[in-house]
């Protein structure tokens, strides 16, 4: 099938890839763009990376191209570098027997792109495109699947998923990303095979979750994972939020799961840290749920419990120490914004000077608009930021420990308390200079003697 390639697709990357294919074909090796490029091109998207499938074997690729990186030569994959841009060149191959649910036990090279297409996951990812002739090779009706909005596996879903269990999550991500409906074969196979996700490394699942969380309509993906029993396996604490009722006065939107899903979709600038903070901010509610005499549920201390549960989940998924600390702190602190209007100036200034404040403020905004819609304290914080001209750092302290030692004070916990008290008075505007602070210390010492 021949198509007319849009001019927007023919960017510098495309032209470099075309040159690589031209060189391979002139050397006698049929080659073409593969997989995601073809799918995205048919959807009118500009390519940001191009994978090339070829009849050339790794050693033959190395002879043709001087600048390469052998990222997966044992699997027939060589990375060709062209002025900083990288192109993965994969030899057409068949794969047999996936005893570990990820890697094939046996690889056989082939000259037939049809045989190569049969090892791929979904029909929309199994198409090839020859940029020299502008022909598409579509052996599994992927074009029509894109046209009619459906996601199908190449061959039997159960077989494809057993080859790499991560394809179970990829099915959800692709369905949401491209607004496709999964076919009955996929929806029937996933619940049965979902427990096999426990056999995968936590890092692979984490990376797939990050793509889902920062992609389009993450709530649809999580609802789908819940329906297909995936969430019970990979994030049981999130699955347990479903049906966990909340006070209607504060949460007219519904249970904890519904509230969290609304928050995910309200992210304006998604990032993994913000997304995980949203996902986990109420994870402590199941453990802390109590009921008043009127039958209304309460979740006292859920933020503290949530911090511990969050750290456990993120540690299990091998996240960095920085990510764990930042996200768990946001979970722990997310309730304090409810009282920031009643705090003394020194306290709210300290909160607003914290490095994590911008993320926590955004978490608070999304929390509010996904529940009762009350943004008073969020707007108050914005007013205070404007009043401070955006300078959220605390001013240098009027006194430091050495100053108190020179006044005859002994080092220890009491000295720390005095320094904090002095800084509080400084932030409140009561003490304005070092001299005033020293006089305050002298009066304090006199009152103690």
Residues 123-152: pLDDT tens digits?
Answer: 999 999 999 999 999 999 999 999 999 999
β-bridge partners, 68: 80
Percent of the chain with pLDDT over 90: 77
Give the per-residue pLDDT at 408.
84
SS3 for 217-270, per residue?
Answer: CHHHHHHHHHHCCCHHHHCHHHHCCCCCCCCCCCCCCCCHHHHHHHHHHCCCCC
Q: Is the pLDDT of residue 76 over 90?
A: no
Q: What confidence category does residue 390 fall into, taking pLDDT thresholds of 50, 70 and 90?
A: confident
Count Cβ atoms within 10 A of the Cβ of residue 423 and give its class: 0-12 exposed, 13-18 middle, 19 or more buried: buried
Helix (H, G, I), strand (E, B) or coil at 283: coil
Q: What is the mean pLDDT of residues 290-296?
A: 89
Give the per-residue pLDDT at 3.
75
Give the per-residue pLDDT at 448.
74
Least confident range from 208-217, 284-293, 406-415: namely: 406-415
According to DSSP H, which parts of 34-94 are helical? Answer: 36-42, 58-64
CA distance linking residue 316 with residue 310, whole number of Å: 10
Q: What is the mean pLDDT of residues 101-119?
A: 84
Interval 237-290: pLDDT, tens: 999 999 999 988 889 999 999 999 999 999 999 999 999 999 999 999 999 999
CA distance linking residue 252 with residue 24, whole number of Å: 62
| Closest among 23, 83, 25, 13 to 51, alpha carbons compared | 13
CA distance linking residue 278 with residue 102, whole number of Å: 31
Q: What confidence category does residue 44 fall into, taking pLDDT thresholds of 50, 70 and 90?
A: confident
Element holding 352 (H helix, E strand): helix 345-353
Under a CB-based contact definition with an 8 Å cutoff, are residues 251 and 371 in contact?
yes
Q: Is the pLDDT of residue 100 over 60?
A: no
Q: What is the mean pLDDT of residues 176-181?
A: 96
Choice between 77 and 329, residue whose per-residue pLDDT is larger: 329
Q: What confidence category does residue 97 fall into, taking pLDDT thresholds of 50, 70 and 90?
A: low
- Crossing angle of helices 256-265/218-227, nearest 10°? 140
Average pLDDT value over all residues in the chain: 92
Portions of the chain given CATH number 3.30.460.10: 12-143
Interval 84-95: pLDDT, tens: 899 999 999 997
Beta pairing class for 150-151 and 181-182:
parallel
Query: Which CATH superfamily includes the segment(s) 12-143?
Result: Beta Polymerase, domain 2 (3.30.460.10)
Give the per-residue pLDDT at 101.
58
CA distance linking residue 127 with residue 147, whole number of Å: 14
Under a CB-based contact definition with an 8 Å cutoff, are residues 272 and 210 in contact?
yes
Choice between 7 and 257, residue whose per-residue pLDDT is larger: 257
Give the per-residue pLDDT at 104.
65
Q: What is the mean pLDDT of residues 345-372?
A: 95
Under a CB-based contact definition with an 8 Å cutoff, are residues 180 and 174 in contact?
yes
Q: What confidence category does residue 64 fall into, taking pLDDT thresholds of 50, 70 and 90?
A: very high
Phi, psi of 157 (to 5 degrees): -60, -45
Give the per-residue pLDDT at 119.
93
Q: Is the pLDDT of residue 157 over 70?
A: yes
Q: Is the pLDDT of residue 329 over 70?
A: yes
Q: What confidence category does residue 391 fall into, taking pLDDT thresholds of 50, 70 and 90?
A: confident
């Amino acid at each position: 099938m021949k198509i007319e390639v849009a001019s927007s697709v023919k960017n510098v990357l495309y032209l470099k890839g075309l040159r690589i294919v031209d060189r391979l074909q002139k050397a006698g090796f049929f080659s073409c763009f593969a997989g995601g490029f073809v799918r995205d091109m048919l959807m009118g998207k500009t390519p940001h990376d191009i994978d090339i499938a070829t009849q050339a074997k790794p050693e033959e690729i190395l002879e043709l191209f001087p600048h390469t990186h052998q990222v997966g030569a044992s699997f027939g994959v060589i990375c060709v570098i062209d002025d900083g841009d990288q192109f993965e060149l994969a030899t057409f191959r068949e794969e047999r027997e996936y005893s570990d649910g990820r890697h094939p036990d046996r690889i056989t090279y082939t000259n037939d792109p049809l045989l190569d297409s049969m090892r791929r996951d979904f029909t929309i990812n199994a198409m090839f495109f020859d940029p020299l002739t502008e022909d598409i090779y579509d052996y599994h009706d992927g074009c029509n699947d894109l046209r009619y909005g459906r996601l199908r596996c190449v061959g039997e879903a159960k077989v494809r998923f057993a080859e790499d269990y991560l394809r179970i999550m990829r099915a959800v991500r692709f369905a949401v990303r491209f607004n496709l409906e999964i076919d009955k074969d996929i929806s029937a196979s996933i619940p049965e095979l979902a427990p096999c996700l426990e056999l995968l490394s936590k890092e692979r699942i984490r990376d797939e979750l990050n793509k889902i969380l920062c992609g389009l309509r993450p709530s649809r993906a999580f609802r789908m994972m819940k329906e297909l029993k995936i969430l019970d396996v990979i994030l049981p604490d999130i699955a347990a939020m479903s049906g966990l009722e909340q006070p209607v006065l504060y949460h007219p939107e519904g249970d904890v799961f519904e509230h969290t899903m609304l928050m995910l979709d309200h992210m304006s600038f998604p990032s993994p840290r913000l997304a995980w903070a949203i996902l986990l901010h109420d994870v402590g509610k199941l453990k802390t749920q109590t009921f008043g005499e009127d039958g209304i549920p309460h979740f006292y201390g859920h933020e503290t419990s949530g911090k511990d549960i969050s750290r456990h989940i993120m540690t299990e998924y091998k996240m960095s120490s920085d990510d764990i600390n930042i996200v768990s702190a946001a979970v722990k602190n997310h309730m304090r914004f409810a009282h920031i209007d009643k705090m003394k100036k020194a306290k709210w200034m300290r909160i607003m000077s914290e490095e994590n404040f911008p993320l926590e403020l955004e978490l608070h905004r999304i929390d509010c608009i996904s529940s009762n819609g009350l943004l008073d304290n969020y707007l108050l914080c914005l007013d205070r930021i404007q009043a401070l001209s955006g300078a959220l750092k605390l001013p240098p302290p009027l006194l430091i420990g050495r100053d108190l030692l020179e006044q005859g004070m002994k080092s220890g916990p009491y000295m720390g308390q005095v320094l904090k008290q002095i800084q509080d008075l400084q932030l409140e505007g009561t003490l304005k200079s070092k001299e005033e602070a020293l006089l305050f210390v002298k009066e304090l010492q006199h009152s103690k003697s």
